[in-house]
Amino acid sequence: MGLRRFNVDLGSLGKDDSIRLWLPFVYPEIGYKYDKLNDYLQLCESGKRPKGGINSQDLGKAISLGGEQINADGSVDLSKIPYVANDYYESVEKGKVTDNDILICKDGALTGKTCIVDFSIFPSKNVMVNEHVYIFRGNDKIHQRFLFYYTRNALFQAQVKDLAYRKKAQPGLNFDHLKKIRIPAIPKNEQKKILKVIEPIEQKITKHKAKINKPQEVINRVFAKEFRFNLEQFEVLKNIKIFDLNFSNFGNNKDLRDSVKFHRQAGNFVLDELKSKTNKKIKDFIAEPIVLWKGISPAQYEDDNGEYYYLSMATIKNWKFEKENARLVTDKFATDNENKTVQNNDILLARSGEGTIGKVAIIDDEELQGIFADFTMRVRLKDYNCLFAYYYFRTEYFQYLVEINKKGLGNNTNIFPSQLQEFPLLDISKEEQQRIVDEIKTELDAQEKIKTEIEKERNKIDVIIENAIKNS
């Protein structure tokens, strides 16, 4: 896109609620008139969380969805489900989700990301959103599915970016912003015709999705086969919520922790399983001590000219480093913190946050210049296949070790290097490690090919919606 020049009346800047010196958003010419988005919504509201945040020990749970659960492909990510107590779910008036609701991330790096809810894949029908997500539910002027396609369209997303990203601080979309968003006034009978054209494409996508196995499932299956992990018994033990403990169990805990979660039968089972396979720990293979990092102030970010990325929890929430979710830091900040940089084959682990704690990413770019953030840990190994370690860290067994060892209350839970380094680490030859890595990669590559086919079909839908908006 070339440079564009605008003549803006200074008087018009004063009418802006935040007096923003920003190129005005120009609505493109389309085949329909523009209406207010709010005129097409029966419901637009966000939710909240219990005071103190999410409590993973609640008996009788309702699902609490946040921005982390909104996938880029428009689906809901249920690989790591945040829960609240059913009593809390019943007590709130707003933020309750129904089937086919559209969820929009309202702030942070994920602002504008959207998905549609399909209750057929949910383990519970008691579902709500937290304070970082809006629920959109269309009225009788619009088909819900068409509304979803519109929220994914470039016209909607451009308006979101224009309204939410005009500040140095975290972007955010508020109710005043939503009042300004416009939607093409496509009659409902025309929407129905468009949906009819899209229907066979969606059916093809559904068939492709049936062949998809989540990466976690692939990794768990391979490790279970290779090391004879008893995942069936593990699942049985995980579902036991009430059990007897002797007082000696608490006294034998080095932290004297009396919370039930630190003494779960499933946790003891995982440790016994891993210790039967290895007598080695992570600390036996680290090249240097596992370290934490401090935070960063807003003044230490660099908008345009920085060379170093800041690798925060948000940048690894999808089990890989994503540059699009990372900010740059000033050269001075990078120079002052050279000992907190990352290099190829480093593993980063999120050490905090109910939705992200335990998630890992491996640095697989020799050219990447980055500094890892607070609430992450850098693990640098020696004499070990780092990709094998990365896959092992993603197994359900390892993630459960994080679950039973994290400290804190609600959404403010943490795990520390002193705990992580004591976790068991499988000790097999590098040749065997590489063989297992190759097996996992082969399966994951096949999954990626299917996802590519799905993306092609979704792009067809985007083109149909784009053309429908442009041409009456």
Same domain, 179 and 302: no
Per-residue tens of pLDDT for the chain, all 472 residues: 333 444 444 344 344 444 444 556 788 989 899 999 999 999 999 999 887 666 555 556 899 999 889 988 888 888 778 888 899 999 999 999 999 999 999 988 789 999 999 999 899 999 999 999 999 999 999 999 999 999 999 999 999 999 988 765 678 899 999 999 999 999 999 999 999 999 999 999 999 989 989 899 999 999 999 999 999 999 999 887 666 655 555 555 555 444 455 568 899 999 999 999 999 999 999 999 998 876 788 888 886 778 899 998 889 988 999 988 788 999 899 888 888 999 999 999 999 877 789 999 999 999 999 999 888 999 999 999 999 999 999 999 999 999 999 988 766 789 999 999 999 999 999 999 999 999 999 999 999 999 999 999 999 999 999 999 988 6
Same domain, 361 and 251: yes
Q: Specify if 255 maps to a domain.
A: yes
Q: Specify if 4 maps to a domain.
A: no
Same domain, 99 and 225: no
Q: Specify if 446 maps to a domain.
A: no
Same domain, 181 and 303: no
Residue 374 DSSP one-character state: T
Which domain, by its residues, includes 149?
Answer: 25-186
Same domain, 382 and 339: yes
Residue 201 buriedness (CB in 10 A; 0-12 / 13-18 / 19+):
middle
Same domain, 107 and 170: yes
List, edge to edge, every strand of the sheet that includes 83-85: 83-85, 61-65, 127-129
Cα angle 223, 385, 452; round to 5: 65
Same domain, 256 and 124: no
Same domain, 335 and 419: yes
Same domain, 165 and 231: no
Q: Specify if 205 maps to a domain.
A: no
Residue 112 belongs to a domain with what CATH number? 3.90.220.20
Same domain, 240 and 289: yes
Q: Specify if 75 maps to a domain.
A: yes
Give Cα 38 distance to the centre of its chain.
Answer: 28
Number of domains in the chain: 2
- Token pair in block for residue 168: 């140095």
Q: Specify if 437 maps to a domain.
A: no
Q: Rounded to the nearest 10 degrees, how much is the dihedral formed by the CA atoms of 368, 371, 373, 379?
A: 80
Same domain, 237 and 146: no
Q: Specify if 230 maps to a domain.
A: yes
Same domain, 227 and 373: yes
Taking the C-alpha atoms of residue 58 and residue 38, their distance in angstroms, rounded to an integer, is 36
Q: Specify if 405 maps to a domain.
A: yes
